[in-house]
Amino acid sequence: MKITAVDTYPVVLPIKEIYGGAAGFLEDCRSLIVRVETDNGSEGWGEATQGRPGNAYETLETMDIMTREYFAPALIGMDLEETGSAVSKLHGIRYGHPITKAAIEIAIFDVLGKFYRLPLCRLLGGPYRREIELVGGLGMDLGPEAIGVRARQLAEEGFRKFKIKIGQQDHRKDIERVRAVRQTLGDDASIRVDGNAAYSFVDARAVLNELSQFDISDAEQPLQRGDLKSLAELRHAVSVPIAAQESVSSADDALAVLEERAADLLKIKLTHIGGFERAREVAAVVGAKGLPVVIGQGSACTTILSAAEMHLHCALKNAQPGGEMTGFLRLGEQDVFGPIPVRRGKAFPPMSAGHGIEVNKQKLQRLVR
């Protein structure tokens, strides 16, 4: 089963509402859709999304160029039944570009799942679960009154876990927004916060100590990604558990975080890590220490990327309850990408072959920039 084509479809899709964090604001969904075809007629679909400006150097344009000019030519002719060789070659062609590589790897695993007639989570070693309680995302664009209204809407839809973006220059606004959500939801809701590496040590310590009164389950990446010593010091200075995300781009990074005792749990975004193989390596390192991983990204994307992260979540024994793969919920109405069922705040990943998302190629072609 050899690769005969790697096609790209750069698209810009509307989203329901602006979604903001300290790393920047999303006003649309900028995704590179990748299609891998093999000589037996099988095809697989992957996706990479540009995300917020402050999170990555890869843009829709660079992802498209890297795939067409570098990755596709090197992968043509490779035998996908030797999956490890194909994935290794993908990561060896050019240093970096994890978002682009993740899109191609998702497409490769989608092909394999269809060829072997298995859902993707089965290829990855699972499933440990078949449904995922989703985490409702609350952006920095929402002030104290608006964030309470939105939290109530999500709760009425069945959500019980929530994540609030923080990291504003006026730290009182962060605290008041969290206060508004807790007062709206009551004591039963689980609330996380995400600082997107925006705080200094002094400010992070002050903000998290104040937020502890609201029973915060954990604070994601309050400090800069490379300063593990300060992150470890902060972890011991506050009562709120610390989650590392931007600090972890590989298994080596995960090991460094754990050796420094800089976090209580780690977050895995499939595109930030660079695909399934590297995500599983990180989860294995973290699991060996008896710690959980959080899976998923809330940035706008199609159901392709969200389904891929759901299958990863289902396949990992140490995946923390509560998945953050909610980007597909931010898209406006569209009939290009197949749906993911969501009922009462829970997602039910498609368990057909591959990641389970069907793509209408003709309609997709009309969306290409």
Same domain, 80 and 136: no
CATH number for the domain that contains residue 288: 3.20.20.120
Same domain, 194 and 331: yes
Structural domain containing residue 158: 123-347
Domain assignment present for residue 208? The answer is yes
Both 32 and 89 in a single domain?
yes
The answer to whether residue 352 sits within a structural domain is no
State whether 223 and 103 are in the same domain.
no
CA dihedral 245, 248, 249, 251 (to 10 degrees): -140
In contact, 163 and 192? CB cutoff 8 Å? yes
User: 261 in a domain, yes or no?
Assistant: yes
Domain membership flag for residue 246: yes
298 and 281 in a common domain: yes
Residue 353 falls within a domain, yes or no?
no
Tell me the residue length of the chain. Answer: 369
Domains identified in the chain, total number? 2
Domain check: are 110 and 128 in the same one?
A: no
Residues 59 and 134 in one domain: no
Looking at the structure, do residues 337 and 273 belong to the same domain, yes or no?
A: yes
| C-alpha span between 297 and 64 (Å, rounded) | 21
The phi and psi torsions of 161 (rounded to 5 degrees) equal -120, 140
Q: Are 111 and 241 found together in one domain?
A: no
Please indicate, yes or no, whether residues 215 and 274 belong to a single structural domain of this protein: yes
Residues annotated as catalytic (active site), given as ranges: 165, 269
pLDDT tens across the length of the chain (369 residues): 999 999 999 999 999 988 888 878 888 999 999 999 999 999 999 999 986 665 668 999 999 999 999 999 999 999 988 888 888 888 899 899 999 999 999 999 999 999 999 999 999 998 999 999 999 999 998 999 999 999 999 999 999 999 999 998 899 999 999 999 999 999 999 999 999 999 999 999 999 999 999 999 999 999 998 899 999 999 999 999 999 999 999 999 999 999 999 999 999 999 999 999 999 999 999 999 999 999 998 889 999 999 999 999 999 999 999 999 999 999 987 789 999 999 999 999 999 999 999 999 999 999 997
The pair of structure tokens assigned to 209 is 């100590």
Handedness of CA 130, 265, 102, 105 (dihedral sign): negative
CATH number at residue 41: 3.30.390.10
pTM of the model: 0.95
Q: At 298, which amino acid appears?
A: G
